[in-house]
Every structure is written in structure tokens, then in C-alpha cells.
Structure 1
Amino acid sequence: MSGLDPDELARLRTDLARIARGLDRATRGSDLTRSAVSVLGTVAVRGPIGMGELATVEGVNPTMLSRLAGKLEVAGLLVRDTDPDDGRAVRVAVTEAGAAEHRRRREERTRLLAAQVDALTPDHAARLRAALPALDALAGALRDAR
């Protein structure tokens, strides 16, 4: 038993999606898709990474990932090269422009979220703070379930 009934689970899922979409809509800038932003962020955080590992982390098929990486490369945000340990494998790394775009988006989303959290009542802000460990655990469980 999850501890939440089906209506509460639906509410949680809907609220999390609405928060993510709201941040996406409010983030100004390039024409990158949510998937492309996620790939860019993973590469920026993890450093040079093999395409196979990146596909696993992102939960996308290699063909889709190759297309996304290609678009990010054309945009000057990623570079692809051969893995020095395995000449048959491809890895990707973030460019200076890609790292700057990742930082800009992260900082902008943080500012937007901070403004909304600051507008909450002190009680709601405290409840949100108290929920963070549970949300972290949920995010980790969903990541590991892939």
C-alpha cells in the first residue's frame, strides 16, 4: 500500500507535472525541447558520457538520443567524439556554450521557483520544506525503476 489513495496519487502526479510545465513555459530562451534540455543537463552535470550510458540515464532509445545529440551538436551545445577507451563507442561532452545555456536555464528556473515559493504562506512553505525528503526519495525510486 502506498499510503496515498488513488485520488491523492493522481493529484500528486498532476501537481508535479503542472509545476514542471509551468517552469518550462516561464523559462525564456531557445527552442530546445524538454528532452533536449534534459540531455544537455545530464551531459553538463556528468561530464563526457558515452551515448549508451546517456540513453540509459535519460530513458530514451539510442536512435532518439542520436537525433537529440545531433540537434544539440548543430546548435553548438554538445560535441560528439569517439571514446578513447573504445574507438567503436561515441561519447558526448558539453561545449562552453552548452554549459552556459545549462547554467542560465538552471538559474532562471531557480529564480522563478523561488519567487513562487516566497509567495506561499509560511505554513505552506514549511510543509513544502518538510516534504522535500519524501520527494527526493520518490525521484530516486523512479530513477532507479528505469
Structure 2
Amino acid sequence: MHDEPNPAPARDLDVDAFATAIETFSRFYARLPVPEKLSFTALSVLDTLTCHDGPLRLTDLTRSEQVSQPGITQLVARLERDGLVERRPDPSDGRAVLVRITEAGRRAGRTRHEARTRHLTPLVDRLSGAQRRALADALPALTRLAELGREHR
């Protein structure tokens, strides 16, 4: 169950400072060493396909990944060549293509997640107890913020 939206938003969060902190962390997180030699965008496509229930059209991936149609087509072709995704014609529209993640693609995503967790754990251990609690307390709000962002699309 989610909290109801606040009809009169409180000004108890500096949204600019929040955005700056998230951007800084995102850049750091994206650069953590991972065993796969896949680009950030390729890994993002795999994550999108993993989180989505069923295959997606190339046009949906173009929107979600903010990549041009030719760019996503080339990227998906490389991922298919590497066995990480499969492309099939859309049975409801012969002009469209559906993209589905393979088990190898799921493994690549899990491997990346596990590698990043291994790198983050000793860093989180260096935070104070209060800082770790603050991160833990923020997780539901960050998850809900991401849900709201997906709903807004």
C-alpha cells in the first residue's frame, strides 16, 4: 500500500540537492567494475527486459532507453548475436519486432548486480550506523519514486 500524495507538498526536501546526490551516485554506480564487457545502455536494456513481464517492441525500448531507433536496432542485434536477447516478429503487427531476454541475458544481469554488491558492501560498511539507517529508511521512498516515474511515462 502506498501513501496518498500530499495535497500540499511540504518543502522539507531540497529537490535540487536530492537530484545532484542521485546523479553523483548514479555516475559512481554505473562505473563500478563489472565482469561483462557490456555498455551501460546494453545493461540497461537487459534490466528493462528483465523487469518487464514479457517481450517488448523495439519502439518501446527506444523510448525507455532514450536511444534512437537505429541505435537500439544495432544494440539489440549485438545482444542477439551474443545470445542475450531474442528477436521475433510481433504476431499482432508483422512490421514490428518483439525483443525477449534469454536466460543468458538474465545471468549477465545477475552477475552485474552481484559484482556491484560486492564492491558496494565494504563501502557501506565504512558508513556510520546512522548513515546506513538513513539509506535503509530511504529505500521505500526511492522505490516508490521510481514507480511514480514509470507511471508518469
TM-score normalized by the length of structure 2: 0.76
Q: Which residue of structure 1 aligns with residue 78 of structure 2?
A: 71
Specify the code of the residue in structure 1 equivalent to 2:104.
A
Shift, 1:84, TM fit: 3.0
Contact 1:77 1:98 survives alignment (8 Å): yes
Shift, 1:104, TM fit: 0.4
Which runs of structure 1 show a deviation greater than 6 angstroms over 4 or more consecutive aligned residues?
A: none
Mapped to 2, the partners of 1:63 and 1:26 lie a distance apart of 28
Specify the code of the residue in structure 2 equivalent to 1:14.
T
Post-superposition Cα deviations, 1:23-77, rounded to whole Å, max 9, x if no partner, equal 2222222332211111011113324222233334334443332222122223332
SS at match of 2:97: strand
Q: Which residue of structure 2 aligns with residue 24 of structure 1?
A: 30
Q: How many residues align?
A: 144
Q: What's the % identity of the aligned pairs?
A: 36
Structure 2 counterparts to residues 1-146 of structure 1, below 5 A? 3=11, 8-46=14-52, 47-146=54-153
Structure with a larger share of its residues in helix: 1
SS at match of 1:26: coil
Specify the code of the residue in structure 1 equivalent to 2:59.
G
Mapped to 1, the partners of 2:108 and 2:31 lie a distance apart of 16
- Which 5+ residue runs of structure 2 have no aligned equivalent? 1-8
- Which 5+ residue runs of structure 1 have no aligned equivalent? none
Instruction: Classify 1:50/1:131 alpha carbon distance in 2 versus 1 (closer, same or farther; 3 Å).
Output: same
Contact 1:23 1:112 survives alignment (8 Å): no
Q: CA RMSD in A?
A: 2.4
Shift, 1:91, TM fit: 0.6
TM-score normalized by the length of structure 1: 0.79
